[in-house]
Amino acid sequence: MREDAIEREIEGMLGLRERREKDSDLYKIANEVFDRTTKETLAYLHRRGKIEALHGVISTGKEANVFAGVDAEGNRIAIKIYRTYTTEFRRIWEYLAADPRVGYLPKDMRKLVFVWTRREFKNLRRAIKYAVRVPEPVIFRNNVLVMEFIGDELPAPRIKDVERSLEPSDFEELYDFTMGVIERLWKRGDMVHGDLSEYNILLHERPVVIDWSQATVRRNRMSVELLKRDLRNVINYFGRKGVDVDDFDDKFRELVGV
């Protein structure tokens, strides 16, 4: 597909009907993130009907940006686009190298990001299998992951975003939910999230756990440390909110059986 045709397709997805719209925050962020590989991937998904339009930015980060959008049938979707060149190279490499599910690792950063994207897609599917509420993955290609949009007109907030409006009983329920996720993943799914915190749980009807890029299986030599990280994050946060939390050492021994 010719480059000028891809550019027109991307501009159509971004809703850039007039020249002045290119001053929008959406265009500026997209222009920073969308290299040629990303544009070709978005154009491919657009032709497949998986992405009809991008409507706004949900979140930005060092590794990836997440956009709100719609598919060809008008369904709301979230589109996570990993940067093909990132300062997080060493961290990504270490996580992938330790994961027994991952075979040969390419030395090219762009291709490594493709492996990282595929891994998150598989992690989401595995979490669903073990009854953890996550954004349902739709499709991935290269560095782009299309998922269920969590929210109504606006994206659902994280616990951290609305903590001041929560009651003590809300924190108690959320603590029970989050510890239940840790236990269910570890005991039934042989899996650990690895970055579970108030920043990665959305509140929409019922809590939804997001950001599964670093999640892995128990066979991973890093899994125990990641489990400890999740337990510390959750116990420390909810303890500060007045919840009667578990003792870290007792809970860790209960899960790992030592």
CATH number assigned to the domain comprising residue 208 = 1.10.510.10
Contacts of residue 36, defined as CB under 8 A and 6 or more positions apart, other chains included, come to 3, 6
Please indicate, yes or no, if residue 90 is contained in any of the structural domains. yes
CB 158 within 8 A of CB 203: yes
Please indicate, yes or no, if residue 240 is contained in any of the structural domains. yes
Which domain-ending residue is among 102, 129, 148?
A: 148
To the query of whether residue 170 is one of the catalytic residues in this protein, the response is no
CA torsion 128-167-149-112 (nearest 10°) is -60
Please give the residue that has the higher pLDDT: either 20 or 245. 245
Mean pLDDT of 195-221: 96
For residues 84 and 175, membership in a common domain is answered with: no
For residues 29 and 107, membership in a common domain is answered with: yes
Which domain-ending residue is among 123, 148, 173?
A: 148
For residues 45 and 101, membership in a common domain is answered with: yes
Fill in the amino acid letter for 174. L
**Does residue 251 carry a pLDDT above 60?**
yes
Please indicate, yes or no, if residue 114 is contained in any of the structural domains. yes
Query: Which residue(s) pair with 235 in the sheet?
Result: none
Average pLDDT, the chain: 91
Contacts of residue 3, defined as CB under 8 A and 6 or more positions apart, other chains included, come to 36
Query: In this predicted structure, what is the pLDDT of residue 99?
Result: 94
> 3-class DSSP state for residue 55?
strand
- The pLDDT confidence band at residue 212, using thresholds 50, 70 and 90, is very high
Range of the domain at 242: 159-256
Please indicate, yes or no, if residue 95 is contained in any of the structural domains. yes
For residues 143 and 34, membership in a common domain is answered with: yes
For residues 88 and 7, membership in a common domain is answered with: yes
Please indicate, yes or no, if residue 28 is contained in any of the structural domains. yes
CB 233 within 8 A of CB 106: no
- The pLDDT confidence band at residue 68, using thresholds 50, 70 and 90, is very high
User: Which range among 16-30, 66-80, 101-115, 219-233 shows the weakest confidence by mean pLDDT?
Assistant: 16-30
For residues 124 and 1, membership in a common domain is answered with: yes
pLDDT per residue as tens digits for the range 166-195: 999 999 999 999 999 999 999 999 999 999
Please indicate, yes or no, if residue 56 is contained in any of the structural domains. yes
Fill in the amino acid letter for 116. W
Query: In this predicted structure, what is the pLDDT of residue 21?
Result: 55
Q: CA dist 115 to 37, 101, 196, 205, 250, Å?
A: 15, 11, 22, 32, 36
Nearest residue to 163 via CA among 232, 243, 227: 243
Mean pLDDT of 41-59: 92
CA 113/CA 115 separation, integer angstroms: 5
CA 161/CA 9 separation, integer angstroms: 35
Query: In this predicted structure, what is the pLDDT of residue 16?
Result: 61
Number of C-beta neighbours around residue 74 at 10 A: 8
Please indicate, yes or no, if residue 222 is contained in any of the structural domains. yes
Q: Out of 195, 246, 247, 250, pick the active-site residue.
A: 195
**Does residue 19 carry a pLDDT above 70?**
no
For residues 122 and 78, membership in a common domain is answered with: yes
For residues 36 and 121, membership in a common domain is answered with: yes
Please give the residue that has the higher pLDDT: either 93 or 20. 93
Give the pair of three-digit tokens for residue 167: 């009651």
Please give the residue that has the higher pLDDT: either 61 or 144. 144
CA 127/CA 192 separation, integer angstroms: 9
To the query of whether residue 108 is one of the catalytic residues in this protein, the response is no
Supply the CATH number for residue 65's domain: 3.30.200.20
**Does residue 31 carry a pLDDT above 90?**
no
For residues 117 and 187, membership in a common domain is answered with: no
Domain count, the chain: 2
CA 9/CA 38 separation, integer angstroms: 12
Please indicate, yes or no, if residue 100 is contained in any of the structural domains. yes
For residues 25 and 116, membership in a common domain is answered with: yes
Say which DSSP state 22 is in: G
CA 94/CA 137 separation, integer angstroms: 24
- The pLDDT confidence band at residue 81, using thresholds 50, 70 and 90, is very high
For residues 124 and 177, membership in a common domain is answered with: no
Q: Out of 211, 246, 247, 250, pick the active-site residue.
A: 211
For residues 138 and 221, membership in a common domain is answered with: no
